[in-house]
């Protein structure tokens, strides 16, 4: 589990790596972000180093040039979204998932298709709340 939450700028870097699905150097990440974000090459390197310290990215050193690092994802987008969602619910709704869902649902107009998708998600989640909590705080899946 990461020591700190992923910042919005770090999230943009992670989106590039998740979309690519293979290790990238900081230069390659920067090139893929060009035009979408105003981050310098130095800032991208700093943020990728922070993500590595948070154990969200790993890296290998290039065989031909020890100054070049190839970064790869250690945590999936889904894992990070779940963590960010839990922290959001804890911060703004005192951990009450029902209040958080109600607030979000009341904030958007939903199509019949979206309502159907939500009903499927709710149906799948039935019974998960009956298991005792995991000692590490991890939800049962």
Model confidence pLDDT, tens digit, residues 60-81: 999 999 999 999 999 999 999 9
Predicted pLDDT of residue 135: 46
Q: Categorize the per-residue pLDDT at 112 as very low, low, confident or very high, splitting at 50, 70 and 90.
A: very high
Q: Categorize the per-residue pLDDT at 140 as very low, low, confident or very high, splitting at 50, 70 and 90.
A: very low
Q: Categorize the per-residue pLDDT at 129 as very low, low, confident or very high, splitting at 50, 70 and 90.
A: low
Q: Categorize the per-residue pLDDT at 130 as very low, low, confident or very high, splitting at 50, 70 and 90.
A: low
* CB 141 within 8 Å of CB 127: no
Alpha helices in 61-109, H assignment, sequence order: 77-93, 97-106
Predicted pLDDT of residue 3: 55
The CA distance from 69 to 25, in Å, is 6
Max CA separation in the chain (angstroms): 55
Per-residue model confidence as pLDDT tens digits over 3-43? 578 999 999 999 999 999 999 999 999 999 887 777 888 99
- State the DSSP code for 57: E
Phi, psi of 96 (to 5 degrees): -85, 100
């Amino acid at each position: 589990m990461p020591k700190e939450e992923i910042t919005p700028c770090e999230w943009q870097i992670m989106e590039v790596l998740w979309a690519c699905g293979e290790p990238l150097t900081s230069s390659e990440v920067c090139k893929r972000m060009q035009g979408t974000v105003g981050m310098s090459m130095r800032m991208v390197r700093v943020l990728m180093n922070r993500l590595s310290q948070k154990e969200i990215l790993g890296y290998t050193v290039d065989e031909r040039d020890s100054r070049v690092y190839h970064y790869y994802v250690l945590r999936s987008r889904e894992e990070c979204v779940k963590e960010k969602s839990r922290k959001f619910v804890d911060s703004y709704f005192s951990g009450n998932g029902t209040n958080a869902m109600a607030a979000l649902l009341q904030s958007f107009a939903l199509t019949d298709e979206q309502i159907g998708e939500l009903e499927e998600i709710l149906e799948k989640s039935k019974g998960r709340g009956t298991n005792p909590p995991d000692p590490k705080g991890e939800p049962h899946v």
